Amino acid sequence: MLIWEYQPLLEYTPIIEKDYGQERFLTENPMKTFLEGNFVKIPWMTGVTKDELDPWAYYVVVNKTLSEQFYDRFDVLAPVTLQYERGTQRSHLASQAFKEFYLHNQPITESSKRELGNLYSDALIRYGQDMTSKLACNLSDQPVYAYEFEYQGRYSHGYIPGTNTPFGVVHHDDLIYLFNISLLFPEFTPEDPETQMVEKLTTLWANFIYTGNPTPNASEVLNNVIWEQMTTDNLAYLSINSELKMKSGLYQDRMNIWDRYFPDRVQPPLVQ
């Protein structure tokens, strides 16, 4: 059920099915299953895009009524839009901390677009990805390969309304270079600038599928980069842009604040 404008973004979330004698699919909280190590231990590749949910922030920023409502009623609306628990002391403290950390306790304006986009993206995508990646490093003996997709091409799943200008590198934009999405984007030719990124991503993903390692050998197509595994001691990730680079500690300053208030959080919320 929508509570405020088009929020919450995820209307339908997983439900732990009660036992009425029927065959059940989801029988317990997946985090419990995960923490107990009851999952298949295989190599895992996981990542995010640079500007994940910036479009959702944009629609708040450009609407004066919505931006004022969101800021003035942040304690009530933040748990709805960012989908964490409501009406608890922890929720209240978290909302205060997020308002200060991301919005600097300043009214939402056009200049808030980046910070608000980060808040949406961290809440609904990045924190869950970060938390599960770290848990996999702890609980599995198989490698974890993390990435951030940063390449800004001509095409995107999100454009500024009335223009051909992408919001940024938004959710699903990495898929443009892995699959031919003919309903939305043209098929790239060898002359197109996007073709080099297609070659990079398809090589990494094919290597991973066949060997469990996205860079079993150095190659010029991949800028001779070896994709390092993420570990508890080294939060390594591959920065995927025109040039591939290894980096470490993706947005950990922001992830730390979510860890502080919701160390037990599951994405998305579960109804029991």
Q: Is the pLDDT of residue 98 over 80?
A: yes
Query: How far apart are the two ends of the chain, measured CA to CA in Å?
Result: 17
Q: Tell me, what's the pLDDT at 34?
A: 87
Lowest mean pLDDT among 34-38, 130-134, 172-176: 34-38
CA angle in degrees (0–180, nearest 5) for 261-266-268: 115
What is the DSSP annotation of 86-110?
Answer: -SSHHHHHHHHHHHHHHHTT----G
Q: How far is the C-alpha of 5 from the C-alpha of 65, rounded, in Å? A: 11
For 66-97, the pLDDT digits (tens) are: 999 999 999 999 998 998 888 899 999 999 99
pLDDT at position 162, please?
Answer: 87
Which residues are registered as beta bridge partners of 4?
7
Token reading at 52: 């994940």
CB-based contacts of 134, cutoff 8 Å, min separation 6: 232, 235
Distance (Å, rounded) from C-alpha 57 to C-alpha 62?
A: 9
Q: Give the pLDDT confidence of 215-242 residue by residue, as tens digits.
A: 999 999 999 999 999 999 999 999 999 9
Q: What is the pTM of this model?
A: 0.90
Beta-bridge partner residues of 239: 148, 245
